[in-house]
Amino acid sequence: MLKQGLSQKLLQKLSPQQIQFIQLLQLNTAELEERIEEEITDNPALENEKTDDPGEDAQESLEKETESEIENDIDGSEEDDLNYEDEFEENLSDYLGDDDDYAYSSADAAEEKKDIPFATVNTLYDTLMEQLDSIRISDREKELARHLIGMIEEDGYLRRPLKNIAYDMAFLNQIQTNEAELEKALHIIQSFDPPGIGARNLVECLCIQLNKKGTHNPVVQLAKKIITHHMDDLAKKHYDKLVKSLKVDKDKLKEAIDIITHLDPKPGESQVSTKTQYIIPDFIVTNNDGELQVILNSKNAPELRVNRGYQETIRGYQESNVKNKNLKSQVQFIKQKLDSAKWFIDAIKQRQQTLLYTMRTIVEYQQDFFLTGDVEKLEPMILKDIADKIGMDISTVSRVVSSKYVQTEFGIYSLKEFFSEGIQTESGEEVSNREVKQILKDIIGKESKRRPLTDEKLTSMLNEKGYNIARRTVAKYREQLNIPVARLRKEI
- Domains, in order of start, for the chain: 16-69+90-118+278-419 (no CATH), 124-272 (no CATH), 422-489 (1.10.10.60)
DSSP category for residue 415: G
Q: How confident is the model at residue 175 (pLDDT cuts 50, 70, 90)?
A: confident
Distance CA 345, CA 46 (A): 9
Beta bridge partners of 283: 296, 406
pLDDT at res. 68: 47
pLDDT tens column, 365-419: 999 999 998 877 888 888 899 999 999 888 888 988 988 999 999 889 989 888 8
What sign has the CA pseudo-torsion 395, 399, 404, 409?
negative
* Residue 424 dihedral angles phi and psi, to the nearest 5°: -90, 135
What are the b/e assignments for 177-199, b being 16+ CB within 10 Å? Answer: beeeebeebbebbbebebbbbbb
What pLDDT, on a 0 to 100 scale, did the predictor assign at position 292? 92
In this prediction, residue 217 carries a pLDDT of 85
Model confidence over 54-104: pLDDT tens digits?
444 444 544 444 444 444 443 444 444 444 444 445 555 555 555 444 444
Is the per-residue pLDDT at 276 higher than 70?
no
Q: Pick from 33, 70, 27, 49: which is nearest to 327 by CA?
A: 70
The CA-CA-CA angle for residues 259, 265, 267, to 5°, reads 110
The pLDDT tens digits of the residues spanning 314-326 come to 766 666 666 667 7
Whether pLDDT at 269 is above 50: yes
Residue-wise pLDDT tens digits, 426-470: 766 667 777 788 889 899 988 888 888 899 999 999 888 888 888
CA atoms within 13 A on the CB side of 118: 7
